[in-house]
Structure 1
Amino acid sequence: MEPRQPPEAREPGPGAETAAVPRWEEAKTFYDNLSPKKKPKSPKPQNAVTIAVSSRALFRMDEEQRIYTEQGVEEYVRYQLEHENEPFSPGPAFPFVKALEAVNKQLRELYPDSEDIFDIVLMTNNHAQVGVRLINSINHYDLFIERFCMTGGNSPICYLKAYHTNLYLSADAEKVREAIDEGIAAATIFSPSKDVVVSQSQLRVAFDGDAVLFSDESERIVKAHGLDRFFEHEKAHENKPLAQGPLKGFLEALGRLQKKFYSKGLRLECPIRTYLVTARSAASSGARALKTLRSWGLETDEALFLAGAPKGPLLEKIRPHIFFDDQMFHVAGAQEMGTVAAHVPYGVAQNPRREKQSLGAQ
């Protein structure tokens, strides 16, 4: 096959001045198409909002996990090597990661020199040999994930702080508990029971309040003394901010990025939207939650007080990329309605053994 030739250069003639610009643009397009497209640079971890995701959160690895559990690590690695050119199917965190990258694209357009963007790290205890299949899968879906941490069977939790992690998502509940114990925002992510289409242009994140954004102070009162005492307590302490919960810092990071759009006059077009979805009642206990956020200099775009009603139906309308809650029955209810839900194992709602351990560690 004859090599493709660039547009032929010609002597200037009549109309050369008007033709020069189109011909230059034509030649530039030709040469631009010859060179590979440049990927954006990765930000420095300390400047970015770092989201660490496990391989089983990002991709579906059910068959691989079965082989690992039933046949051991050697057979697992052999299977991965044999299938390394087959991309994994998207997992529960996949739409969330795609939404993060969509936000990054807009941030780079508005602030070309800023590193205050999302940085996604693949954090996995997989053997390095499995890395080729993970890389192939990431390239197959055109994801921008340049940082990997593959620990070959050891827990990756000790590396999270070194990566300046703002949020860790995993399918492994024990590793998530380890991260929470280390003071890192973390959640166990679950696939929904049915597929629901989520926004491709706006990142939507929904949070429970108590034991997620806030401490579990109020939940402890409910558990120990009942709802009536809880309402009295919240009324009496309405102007006293709640202590922070494990995901307060992540909401803070989202708010910081939102303000970058607001400062460009894009509040209504902001590609990040946050939701407070709480079982609290608005009239009897909602004010303290909102005043706490205000005292932190934070807000959510929407606040939904359900007074104990199921969260799943409202989440189905919101269609968030992820919903965080500390109670598994709310997580299960969200899953049933097609929401990717993540369990935050923090506070008094967790099992008694874990609660005793956490109290003893304080």
Structure 2
Amino acid sequence: MSLNSQTLTGSGQDWTRNGSSSSSSSSSRAPMENESMILKPSTPTRKPIPPKPENAITIAVSSQVLFNMEKEQQIYEQQGMEGYIKYQGEHETEPFSPGPAFSFVKALEAVNTQLRELYPDSEELFDVVLMTNNHADVGLRLINTISHHQLVIERFCMTGGNSPVGDLMAYHTNLYLSSDPGKVREALGEGIAAATMFTPEKMTEVSETQLRVAFDGDGVLFSDESERVFKAHGLAKFLEHEKAHENEPMNHGPLKGFLEALGKLQKKFDGKGQRMDCPIRTYLVTARGTGSSGIRVLKTLSSWGLEIDEALFLAGTPKGPMLEKIRPHIFFDDQMIHVTGAAEMGTVACHVPYGKANEI
């Protein structure tokens, strides 16, 4: 199977937020199958003012993952910059079709709509920044596309081929999504949560009212310290290591801060008595089992003061089928084998090139 950053060809226990286990995906939040309990976002009567970057949860999204620009990329490769700009100008009124990040961004907007209803003066909201290395002459078509799809995106960074890291840092970025692995690695190197997003050939239908985010554990939420033991010495030594360090929290991984940001917004819904109707749901989908290695995961999250809505310990079984059931808007993993498997089942999956497994 061929794989690139534009297109990707191709049961464990659930844990409630207070740590108790269940076998039927029950949780202190509404079950994912019950959409009727999730509040429907209302249509804003006026264009909302974007929050200040220091107050917002900033999601920076590349134009090539927000929209489908595969045809335009081919024109650039075949005709160069001049032909590319000419084509874009001739088609500036034709909107791009949605890309793999589109449903994720729409779900962020649905959460914002409900937050504004509950906290009219709060700036603790998602703020989407469109990042593109395109020439400025292409900007009009992107703006027209944003308007066509009625997206709430006010911040727009056109880097003209330069590194986006400076802009990402200026916006206090909480998550950067791109199709360019090099830029993702650069962002991670500067301490910015980032991932390379892939486009599955088919995309599973996802909720329009509840944002669902799924994380792998080691190398994503946690450091890859335990994964290094497994790769160097095998499963037996890994389990021995986890048992010996069961009460020692793991170090944080690159996306811990993003989970913290999601948890912060979840608490705002809790504070208004909407614990059962929260439009944000988080999942841990890990290859660990429920023995000492699973216990260490839960103790680490507890030591950080973080909660996860559902934790699925798959004990090495494929993640794709479980993700197909969960239907997340986005899934993060540090190993391409799991990214590929998820995408083959229709999940929009992102690779986090972090740790020993991704050293070049």
Pick the TM interval, shorter chain.
Answer: 0.7 to 0.9
Name stretches of at least 5 consecutive residues in structure 1 with no aligned partner.
1-35, 355-362
Question: Matches of 1:107 and 1:55 in 2, distance apart?
Answer: 26
Aligned 8 A contact 2:246 2:292 in 1: no
- Equivalent residues in 2 for 1:218-233 (5 A)? 218-233=226-241
- Read off the aligned partner of 2:86 and give its amino acid letter: R
**CA drift at 1:103:** 0.1
Say which SS state the counterpart of residue 122 (structure 2) adopts. coil
Say which SS state the counterpart of residue 45 (structure 1) adopts. coil
Mean Cα deviation higher: 90-99 or 284-293: 284-293
Matched with 2:35 is none
Matched with 2:163 is 155
1:109 is aligned, of 98, 117, 123, to 117
Moved beyond 4 Å, runs of 4+ = none
Question: Matches of 1:286 and 1:227 in 2, distance apart?
Answer: 14
- Shift of the 270–37 alpha-carbon distance from structure 1 to 2, 3 Å rule, reads closer
2:318 equivalent to 1:293: no
Say which SS state the counterpart of residue 287 (structure 1) adopts. helix
Question: Matches of 1:262 and 1:180 in 2, distance apart?
Answer: 32
Aligned 8 A contact 2:290 2:315 in 1: yes
Aligned 8 A contact 2:55 2:124 in 1: yes
Matched with 1:264 is 272
2:150 equivalent to 1:142: yes
2:350 equivalent to 1:336: no
Name stretches of at least 5 consecutive residues in structure 2 with no aligned partner.
1-43
Percent of counterpart pairs with the same letter? Answer: 74
Which is helix-richer, 1 or 2? 1
Query: CA offsets, 1:237-270, max 9 Å, x none?
Result: 0110000000000000000000000111111100
- Equivalent residues in 2 for 1:181-220 (5 A)? 181-220=189-228
Say which SS state the counterpart of residue 166 (structure 1) adopts. strand
Say which SS state the counterpart of residue 268 (structure 1) adopts. helix
Aligned 8 A contact 1:193 1:337 in 2: no
Question: Matches of 2:339 and 2:143 in 1, distance apart?
Answer: 31
2:281 equivalent to 1:281: no
- Read off the aligned partner of 2:343 and give its amino acid letter: Q
Matched with 2:33 is none
Q: Which has the higher contact order (CA 8 A, sep 6+)?
A: 2
**CA drift at 1:319:** 0.1
Query: CA offsets, 1:123-169, max 9 Å, x none?
Result: 11111111100000000000000000001122222211001100000
2:91 equivalent to 1:83: yes
Larger Rg: 1
Aligned 8 A contact 2:217 2:285 in 1: yes
**CA drift at 1:67:** 1.2
Question: Matches of 1:220 and 1:185 in 2, distance apart?
Answer: 21
Query: CA offsets, 1:186-207, max 9 Å, x none?
Result: 0000112313110011000000
Question: Matches of 1:296 and 1:213 in 2, distance apart?
Answer: 11
Matched with 1:248 is 256
**CA drift at 1:37:** 4.7
Query: CA offsets, 1:4-50, max 9 Å, x none?
Result: xxxxxxxxxxxxxxxxxxxxxxxxxxxxxxxx952111100000000
Question: Matches of 1:192 and 1:110 in 2, distance apart?
Answer: 36
Query: CA offsets, 1:279-317, max 9 Å, x none?
Result: 001114100011101100001100000000000000000
- Shift of the 273–133 alpha-carbon distance from structure 1 to 2, 3 Å rule, reads same
TM-score, structure 2 normalization: 0.87
